[in-house]
Structure 1
């Protein structure tokens, strides 16, 4: 095609603070590319204010207008975006969509184990370091001992695929040491088998109150005190405007990861986007128009398929994550759940945002763990955090749930 590798992604940073930077992606298309790109943008903490998408089924052109942060690593962002784009040679068209079905080699899993003296906000500080180093937290188990020590077990994968090297392990240790200081007692990193990330389906690990409060009903009953939801979300479908595409029009309240939630849903349904436009109508409200078709190149005319797709999108708009507080004996457990892509990827920054919200409320954590469970026909990533109530909670429980929800939704 004559396009240089570095020109697949072009970045134009804004010259004035508060104005959007522009990311242009020009590469061969693949089903789910929009989801992969939006996931990376979400991981880097950028806010998308506008997007234009256009593709002919073989080649695509995407433009993102994003608001960055003072510490945004733009060069690294560009590298990560290029990494998920298909190579130019894949645009031949013959084996194009078949390449999407090939499963990549699962990443190596490492166990980061360290012991330190506990303090308020420690868990978030550690989590922030791991995200800064581009280490993905797959599972975590944290426990507090009676003498004020914390044993943390983080099962992690390395985006840079360098954790097997001595230098990468030393860099990780040094960064943790800079945050923990003299509170760190010991720290070890070792490779473990991939079986630690296998989804656990044992019903004994999920008490009935969890599934009842978080998964049984898609309609939120505020009197039950269940998981919060966005109240504004409307979807309109038009199959007459285009002879070859189904038009989906969405108007809703914006939230962190909004585009990722829509794109991953379409990816899971194997739906291709031919044209799309996202715009912010106000500080909180947004509109998204998508011209879509099935993998066979036809519009969606089957009413059952169309209703199923719209119902799933509606659910993802209203409740992209589930947040609830439940009683666990005399203690209180914070639960957060988010759906896992069919590709096996979970939503980024969830644990980071949970721990940040608790730190800002000065709420301590007694123990925490992350696991994957099958609930119904979907796999969920569930975060279970047992709150430290030794001296009582500093704020009401309802405020804790609300603060965590707002942090995850980007409404803090």
Structure 2
């Protein structure tokens, strides 16, 4: 017998006061380079509840790595000497005594902005996936499975709320994408429940209303919300590989919430996928860019083009990278 219930009720309390902005800190890390190093550091920071807001990774000609992480502390304790020592000690204990690190207050921190070439930006941020997209067979199968989502509105069950019913393929971040879309569309969620079946599909029921307290009765408003939800659930992230001069760059982008927050764990999952493929990251940056009338968080990874895994002129390997990263982000790989 399963120890976990098959359905979960979710009460929502929209009037809860939001916490103030967190203090930013700069973590400087110096180490010898090796495969998977960036993900290993990211994994440790995640375990410590330290959130990466921006990163600058560079490799020196002698094989040393200089990592600059702009972070916030989920526990709000990084201003203390004990918390800083705990962080550095865990990094050294896990990664080896050859590394050194220090944590400083990042005064005047501002989120960086990416500047992609117009042609790349247009392709990365376009609204829909084209049928001609180069993807592996398994990835295309996953995309077709996700397209089977059904979205319905029912105004007969509650005098004060519209019941939004969603049936779709399950994936990592699904509830986040649904609730993010609700917030961005100024829709209040009062109560919800969700459950999944053994075939990998999830059903979500949300009792919702507009900011003015009224139900969503207008068919046009329902169509707009349904279209937005379908797009965000099907295509919540953008992943592609491009040439950056003589080098190869992996781009991962996700919409930024109206509150200014980015999607959780994107950097963690992207570096995990690259580590699994044995690909070294020469440099990495996180920035933001405005496109398609919204702001995006853009992760840029300059990849090492090795003899073991050539990328410069190898479309098959490029598709493997895009497929692996995307499927890891969506929870198809653990």
Bin for the TM-score computed over the shorter chain: 0.7 to 0.9
- C-alpha separation between the residues in 2 aligned to 1:318 and 1:166? 44
Paired position in structure 2 for 1:220: 129
Given that 1:108 and 1:194 are in contact with CA atoms closer than 8 Å, whether structure 2 keeps it comes out as no
Matched, 1:119 2:29: no
* Aligned length in residues: 321
Deviating 4+ runs (over 4 angstroms): 226-229
- Among 189, 204, 210, the alignment partner of 1:294 is 210
The 1:286/1:328 distance shift into structure 2, 3 A limit, reads same
Matched, 1:410 2:325: no
Residues 230-249 of structure 1 mapped to structure 2, 5 A cutoff: 230-249=146-165
Give the alignment's TM-score, normalised by structure 2.
Answer: 0.88
SS of corresponding position for 1:112:
strand
Given that 1:111 and 1:154 are in contact with CA atoms closer than 8 Å, whether structure 2 keeps it comes out as yes
How far 1:108 sits from its partner (Å)? 0.6
Give the alignment's TM-score, normalised by structure 1.
Answer: 0.72
Given that 1:214 and 1:323 are in contact with CA atoms closer than 8 Å, whether structure 2 keeps it comes out as yes
Paired position in structure 2 for 1:305: 221
SS of corresponding position for 1:363:
coil
Paired position in structure 2 for 1:76: none
Matched, 1:279 2:195: yes
Paired position in structure 1 for 2:8: 51
Which stretches in structure 1 are left out of the alignment for 5+ residues?
1-15, 23-48, 55-59, 61-85, 87-95
Given that 1:209 and 1:326 are in contact with CA atoms closer than 8 Å, whether structure 2 keeps it comes out as no
Which stretches in structure 2 are left out of the alignment for 5+ residues?
311-315
How far 1:294 sits from its partner (Å)? 1.2
Given that 1:213 and 1:324 are in contact with CA atoms closer than 8 Å, whether structure 2 keeps it comes out as no
- C-alpha separation between the residues in 2 aligned to 1:138 and 1:242? 41
Paired position in structure 2 for 1:170: 85
Post-superposition CA distance 1:45-65 (Å, at most 9, x none) = xxxx632235xxxxx5xxxxx
- C-alpha separation between the residues in 1 aligned to 2:3 and 2:33? 41
How far 1:240 sits from its partner (Å)? 4.4
Residues 174-213 of structure 1 mapped to structure 2, 5 A cutoff: 174-184=89-99, 186-197=100-111, 200=113, 205-213=115-123
- Among 46, 55, 63, the alignment partner of 1:148 is 63
- C-alpha separation between the residues in 2 aligned to 1:53 and 1:168? 34
SS of corresponding position for 1:182:
coil
Higher relative contact order (CA 8 A, sep 6+): 2
Given that 2:31 and 2:64 are in contact with CA atoms closer than 8 Å, whether structure 1 keeps it comes out as yes
Matched, 1:315 2:231: yes
CA-based RMSD: 2.4
Paired position in structure 1 for 2:3: 19
